[in-house]
Structure 1
Amino acid sequence: MANEQIKESNTTTGVHPLKFSLWLIIISIIMMFAAFTSAYIVRREEGNWLEFDLPNILLINTVIIVLSSVTMQMAHNAAKKNNLKQLKFMLLGTLILGVAFLIGQWNGWADLVQNNIYFGGTGSNPAGSFLYVLTGVHGFHLITGLIFVAITFFSSLKYKVHSKNMLRIQLCTTYWHFLGGLWLYLYIFLRVNH
């Protein structure tokens, strides 16, 4: 992706190799979180499961990630219209909201620690450990998404993202929306099953 321009040519199947690769990554992440949430349900039924209130910041983070998905889509739409000023502004907004989400997650973990809910260890609550894993692994993927958004933002500063060079912003938008959708799934899952 560091090339001057990413060629948008398709293979004989009609799908660009980078788009195909991104969908493979997304499918593997979905499978991983399906395994985590299935394990959560199975482990919960085994007992020794101490219920506790979820940190309130999780709801605020849900709003933040939805807003970041809106700004990402606006950036994509701006690129299609060659509105480069709005493109840069919306990508920067997505970056800021993504960082705010991570800060919120960190604060959520601090809230858990204040309530003596830790990850792992002897006598620890498996419910707490699962919450750390689910939010932590999602946070890791969000960091990769932020790196992708930052690369796209810096590319836009060099006028490499526009209506005739949409592949980078398309990939970035798809991945960012996926991360937002994944968080919504996790939040609803935790609210229903916690």
Structure 2
Amino acid sequence: MVANIDKNNTSGEQPLKYVLWLIIVSIIMMFMAFTSAYIVRREEGNWLEFDLPTTFMFGTAILVLSSITMQLAYNAAKKNSLNMVKIMLAATTVLGIAFLYSQLQAWGDLVQNNVYFGGADSNPAGSFLYVLTGVHGFHLITGLIFLFIVLISSLQYKVHSKNMLRIQLCTTYWHFLGGLWLYLYFFLQVNH
């Protein structure tokens, strides 16, 4: 399978794209279930409202910026600007890590405001917030692993206009994660 990726063999492209889209659809279904459960549970009572940490807003800006740098890396690969590919992939990686750090900071802010996960005395609104952001964070870690693999490939000059599959799949997944976060952020703003 890796040989097909490196040679950009079209017979290997379609199954990998199909698998990626199956993963994306599965993640969408999971988050739709989470947000539906959030709405249903909210209506049952025992739901204590609290302000969302402002750190989420900064994290959102970081993730949007990382999506821009990812797209710039993809565009550079199409134009064989190999140094720009490396720079933009490295920037996307740093921004992705910064986003995760901002999420940890937001969790710290929640704890300082006595919003905890789980437990008999906990606020279900807080538990849902931890689950939604934590599961998204897990998927972002998988995206960072994928991104790191593509970055290593770019350092080996394996990402260019004649070998676009890795960066194309990575770009699609990264944009999806950014879009998913925007959905979650606005969902929480409206329903919190």
Do they fold alike, i.e. is TM over 0.5?
A: yes
Q: 2:167 — aligned with what?
A: 169
How far apart are 1:166 and its partner, in Å? 0.2
| TM-superposed deviation, 1:123 | 1.1
Q: Which of the residues 117, 140, 143 maps onto 1:142? A: 140
Q: Does 2:21 match 1:23?
A: yes
| Distance in 2 (alpha carbons) for counterparts of 1:4 and 1:83 | 23
Gap regions ≥5 residues in structure 2: none
How many positions carry a matched residue from both structures?
A: 192
Q: Is residue 8–residue 165 contact of structure 1 (8 Å, CA) maintained in 2?
A: yes
> Partner residue of 1:9?
9
Quote the offset at 1:10 in angstroms: 3.7
Distance 1:40 1:129, change over 3 A: same
Partner residue in 1 for 2:91: 93
Q: Secondary structure at the match of 2:37?
A: helix
2:78 equivalent in structure 1 = 80
- How far the C-alpha of 1:143 sits from its partner, in A, is 0.2
- Counting aligned pairs with the same residue, the percent is 72
Contact residue 13 and residue 165 of structure 2 kept, 8 A: no
**Structure holding more helix per residue:** 2
| Structure 1 equivalent of residue 129 of structure 2 | 131
Q: Deviations over 1:74-125 (max 9, x none)?
A: 0000000000000000000000000000000000000111111100001100
TM-score by length of 1: 0.95
Q: CA deviation at 1:6?
A: 3.0
RMSD (CA atoms): 1.5
Q: How far did residue 127 of structure 1 move?
A: 0.1
**Structure 1 regions of 5+ residues with no counterpart?**
none
Helix, strand or coil for the counterpart of 1:18?
Answer: helix
Q: SS state of the match for residue 47, structure 1?
A: coil
Residue 67 (structure 1) aligned with residue 73 (structure 2):
no
